[in-house]
Amino acid sequence: RLRSFNRLQVILQHLKMSKHTDSAAEVLLEKKGAAGIITLNRPKALNALNLSMIQQIYPQIKTWEQDPETFLIIIKGTGGKAFCAGGDIRAITEAGKVGDKLLQDFFRGEYRLNNAIGTCKKPYVALIDGITMGGGVGVSVHGHFRVATEKTVFAMPETAIGLFPDVGGGYFLPRLSGKIGYYLALTGCRLKGRDVLRVGIATHFVESEKLPALEKDLIALKSPSKEKIADLLNSYHMKCTIDQEKEFALHEHMEKINSLFSANSMEEIVKKLKQDGSPFAMKQLETINKMSPTSLKLTLRQLREGASMSLQEVLRMEYRLSQACMKGHDFYEGVRAVLIDKDQSPKWKPAALEEVSDEFVDNCFKPLGNDDLKL
């Protein structure tokens, strides 16, 4: 009797522990009703994605995709501030300095995950409440439904740290209307709230405090079809009146954005901005002048080529670019200036657009043979 009592104590202790360790887990994966739910759980790090999270989420999505009892997948973040502020840039930087293979593993894993979301056969609903940047965009934008709130802040700020808008940015950015995607990619401009819906990054807009109710209703759907899920999201969306009257922040500048950012080279964009001379153009020029010249050139070409590629082709191209950036100077310098020393004054090499040769850019796009990304 005593032994079985002890065993019970051990089991209870274990359950307590597993409950405890679960809440400390960086990503929570659970099945509720008809839904598989992914919760990014690193609130202190604004739910930034690290390799271990990626390695847990990817197989789970693949499992749920095959499971006849799972009808949809929901992804959300904890902490109330961010959905997911990006990838774990610090870890990548540290790895790069010592030549660790995390440099390959992280980008490989992340892009495979982006592709799994982009090709997922089950409806995928991302609740992008709060900061949604970089890697956070990658785990949301390729899914069927993206629900923004008044707290959503979207940006692809990579050119400021010597990188480029990856995670499939070369696929979705050039497909936004006009040249807005090019503008967002090159300047890192932030969009807030309803504007994230207006440019087509989000598919729905719902009040932040209504998200728990929406999630509950999604979970309660009985063997839902994509149409049923869309109907439910639409009903919440239609009832939300926050900022309805507010004009799109870039509305008055759209004509300029479409003409100024339609040039074929970075030098030409800069020339157009200078010639335009309006306060808006000068502000963009000032922003662009702070960015890594190498990143700007890689990004413009990435988007121009990505515009006619499949998501898989884009991710393969971006993997090549990621590895080129990891071998270069600007990424480490950008992370130092923006995230580590925070002096905000990176010393880019080369320091001017004219010094970034076409030959160098071409090399960054070259296939990696056996090391290419396999999807």
In tens, the pLDDT along 228-285 reads 999 999 999 999 999 999 999 999 999 999 999 999 999 999 999 999 999 999 999 9
In tens, the pLDDT along 114-157 reads 999 999 999 999 999 999 999 999 999 999 999 999 999 999 99
Longest dimension (CA), the chain: 88
pLDDT at 306 over 70: yes
Measure the N-to-C terminal CA separation of the chain; round to a whole number of Å: 55
pTM: 0.93
**Which class does domain 25-371 fall in?**
alpha beta
pLDDT at 19 over 80: no
- Residues with a catalytic annotation lie at 87, 135, 158, 166
* The pLDDT of residue 21: 46
pLDDT band (50, 70, 90) for residue 9? low
Please give the structure tokens belonging to residue 189. 């401009």
Instruction: Using CA atoms of 104, 107, 113, 115 in order, give the dihedral in degrees to the nearest 10.
Output: -100
| Tally of CA atoms within 13 A in the half-sphere of 86 that contains its CB | 20
pLDDT band (50, 70, 90) for residue 24? confident
Residues 6+ apart with CB under 8 A from 84: 40, 46, 47, 48, 49, 77, 131, 132, 133, 135, 136, 139, 140
In tens, the pLDDT along 187-236 reads 999 999 999 999 999 999 999 999 999 999 999 999 999 999 999 999 99
Q: Which of 12-21, 85-94, 261-270 has the lowest mean pLDDT?
A: 12-21
In tens, the pLDDT along 310-367 reads 999 999 999 999 999 999 999 999 999 999 999 999 999 999 999 999 999 999 999 9
* The pLDDT of residue 13: 60
pLDDT at 16 over 90: no
In tens, the pLDDT along 307-320 reads 999 999 999 999 99
